[in-house]
Amino acid sequence: MANSQLLLSFAAAVLAALLSAVLTWALRPLLLRIALAKPNARSSHGIPTPQGAGIAVIMATLITTVAVIVFAGAAEMKIPVAVFAATLFIGAVGIADDVKSIPVLPRLLLQGLAVAAVILAAPENLRIVPACPLWLERGLLILAGLWFVNLVNFMDGLDLMTVAEIVPITGALVLLGWLGGLPASTTVAAAALFGAMLGFAPFNRPVAKIFLGDVGSLPIGLLVGWCLLQLAWHQQVAAALLLPLYYLADATVTLFRRIARGEPFWAAHRSHFYQRATDNGFSVSRVVSEVFALNILLAAFAIGSVMTSSTAIAILLFVAGGIVTAFLMHRFSRRRPSPG
């Protein structure tokens, strides 16, 4: 089964990359007319740029995942219908918000419905903390999922930033699937998203020709959150936290800083650490490269935490991940010395 899973994952990644690239190229002329993101004081781009390439990324991911799973025909590779339906739903919310902004409260309620559908559809025997009442654990997971979906959206603010985050995460998830840490269907879905992001990457490299938009960042957050939850349900909590640790730390610390300052934390802003880095003299390419390098290291720590049988080592790897993440955030928050 391991060899067949490897081949299926490879096929999913290649097919999704090709489909994503073709769809992104085909959709760009239409998105230029109906979904143009114009620069403002909070933007990191300087020219009007179409958004909505997430349509291509998500459709490539879902179509490829379904096709590969159906082709495999394995009984244990059941298609997670609730996850795919919720992904399409939250993607529709995203594209509506891209075209015409939706007020904050209705947007959160709609996103919450999608997250709740994924969490509540899971079997009751899937638990992270069995001693905790089921209703409480599921309620907390819905809140955490809603935050994760939004933070992925918040952090999608530089060319290639989401590629630099999601490619290492999904690549690590595929490796963990091959090691037996994830269900086969989750592994194939992660491989498809990995490929779809690679297919999108050439269009999003600086200076970007097209952005993901909310139609991409929201469902990507939902899909990745579901994959990470599979790790947590298999008692690999350290790995589930290590893989997205940069996004989690940057977004969460920024949120609490804004609340402490009495700022309207729900409003758009430019105070994330990666945004402050560009204001402090770091080029977009430098910021994205350093985030990518950090994520590769975090992925290695996550895989190590799964492979070890020692809880102490897993904790040490998590602490090490926290230290290197804090170091990069501190580096981004300080002005870069001028050459010479």
The answer to whether the beta carbons of residues 151 and 248 sit under 8 Å apart is yes
**What's the whole-number mean pLDDT along residues 237-243?**
97
* pLDDT for residue 6 is more than 50: yes
**What's the whole-number mean pLDDT along residues 159-163?**
95
Q: What pLDDT was estimated at residue 340? A: 44
Q: What pLDDT was estimated at residue 3? A: 62
Identify the residue whose tokens are 């947007």.
107
**What's the whole-number mean pLDDT along residues 286-300?**
97
**What's the whole-number mean pLDDT along residues 99-118?**
92
Dihedral of alpha carbons 207, 244, 152, 336, sign:
negative
The rounded distance, in Å, linking the Cα atoms of 284 and 333 is 14
Q: How would residue 170 be classed by pLDDT, with cut points 50, 70 and 90?
A: very high
Q: What pLDDT was estimated at residue 296? A: 98
**What's the whole-number mean pLDDT along residues 111-117?**
96
**What's the whole-number mean pLDDT along residues 20-45?**
79
The answer to whether the beta carbons of residues 69 and 63 sit under 8 Å apart is no
The rounded distance, in Å, linking the Cα atoms of 173 and 180 is 10
Q: State pLDDT tens for residues 193-227.
A: 999 999 999 999 988 899 999 999 999 999 999 99
Higher pLDDT, residue 269 or 94: 94
Q: What pLDDT was estimated at residue 335? A: 84
Characterise 65 by phi-psi region: left (phi > 0), alpha (psi -120 to 50), beta (else): alpha
* pLDDT for residue 1 is more than 70: no
Q: Residue 130 has what DSSP assignment?
A: T
Q: What pLDDT was estimated at residue 114? A: 97
* pLDDT for residue 79 is more than 80: no
Alpha-carbon distances of 120 from 86, 117, 150, 263, rounded to whole Å:
12, 5, 19, 34
As a whole number, the mean pLDDT across the chain is 90
* pLDDT for residue 254 is more than 60: yes
In order, the DSSP letters of 227-273 are: HHHHHHHTT-HHHHHHTTHHHHHHHHHHHHHHHHTT--TTS--S-SH
* pLDDT for residue 74 is more than 70: no
Q: How would residue 337 be classed by pLDDT, with cut points 50, 70 and 90?
A: low
* pLDDT for residue 75 is more than 60: no
Q: How would residue 4 be classed by pLDDT, with cut points 50, 70 and 90?
A: confident
Q: What pLDDT was estimated at residue 179? A: 87
Instruction: Please name which of 305, 283, 9 lies closest in space to residue 1, comparing C-alpha atoms.
Output: 9
* pLDDT for residue 110 is more than 80: yes
Q: How would residue 46 be classed by pLDDT, with cut points 50, 70 and 90?
A: low
Q: How would residue 162 be classed by pLDDT, with cut points 50, 70 and 90?
A: very high
* pLDDT for residue 44 is more than 80: no
Alpha-carbon distances of 162 from 54, 166, 248, rounded to whole Å:
11, 6, 13
Identify the residue whose tokens are 């402050």.
276
At 219, the amino acid letter reads: P
